[in-house]
Amino acid sequence: MNTFSLSIKGTLEYDTVVCGGGFAGAAAAWASASNGAKTLLIESSGELSVFPFGQDQNATRADVNKKNDNIFLPHTLISDGVFIESEAKKAGKDIKWVRKELERRNIPSIQDVFLMQTDDSGKTKTVAKEKKQ
C-alpha cells in the first residue's frame, strides 16, 4: 500500500478529485476536465496533476461554432494483452477480425498488445507492448 502526505497552506477547491492515475483514473479526470470541471488527479506516487479549467482551457468546438458531428467514442478491444469480447461485439468486431488486424501490423499475438481500440468510423489504434530486454 502506498501512502503519502501532503501539506498545503490555504485552501484548494476542485469540482472533481480523482484518485489513481491508471487507465480508468486518467480517463475519468480527462472526461471531467473536458466538461469544464476543475479537476485534480492524485496518483499513487503522491504526484498531483491539475487540469486547466475556465479561461485556461483550450477552445472547444462550441467556442468556434463548430458542430460536434463525426465524434466517435472508442471501443477497447484489447487491454494489456486481454481480448475484451463484450467491447468487440459493441464495435461489430470479433476475434478473427482482431487477429487479422494484428497480423497486418506484424504483431504476433493478442498477448503482445498493450492497447487496441477502434471506433464506429473504422479508425483503429493499436499499441504493442514494449519488448523486455
* Tens of pLDDT, residues 12-29: 788 888 888 788 888 888
Q: What residues contact residue 83 under an 8 Å CB cut-off, 6+ apart? A: 77, 95, 98, 110
Q: Kindly report whether the global pTM for this prediction surpasses the value 0.85.
A: no
Over residues 24-45, mean pLDDT? 82
Regarding whether 49 and 85 lie in a shared domain, the answer is no
> Helix, strand, or coil here: 110?
helix
Say yes or no: 82 and 37 in one domain.
no
- Give me 34's grid cell: 473536458
Does 63 map to a domain?
A: no
Q: What is the pLDDT of residues 78-100, one digit of tens each?
A: 999 999 999 999 999 999 999 99
Domain-embedded: residue 1: no
Q: What is the CATH number of the domain that holds 96?
A: 3.30.240.20
Examine the pLDDT at 3 and tell me if it is beyond 80. no
* Pair 45, 80 in one domain: no
Alpha-carbon gap, residue 95 to 89, rounded angstroms: 10
Total domain count, the chain: 2
41 lies in some domain? yes
Q: Give mean pLDDT, residues 36-50.
A: 77
Coil, helix or strand for 77? strand
Q: Is residue 24 part of a domain?
A: yes
pLDDT of residue 102: 96
Is 69 within the bounds of a domain? no
Q: 110 or 8, which is more confident?
A: 110
Q: What is the pLDDT of residues 49-65, one digit of tens each?
A: 766 665 555 666 666 77
Could you tell me if residue 124 is inside a domain? Answer: yes
Supply the range of the domain harboring residue 28.
16-53
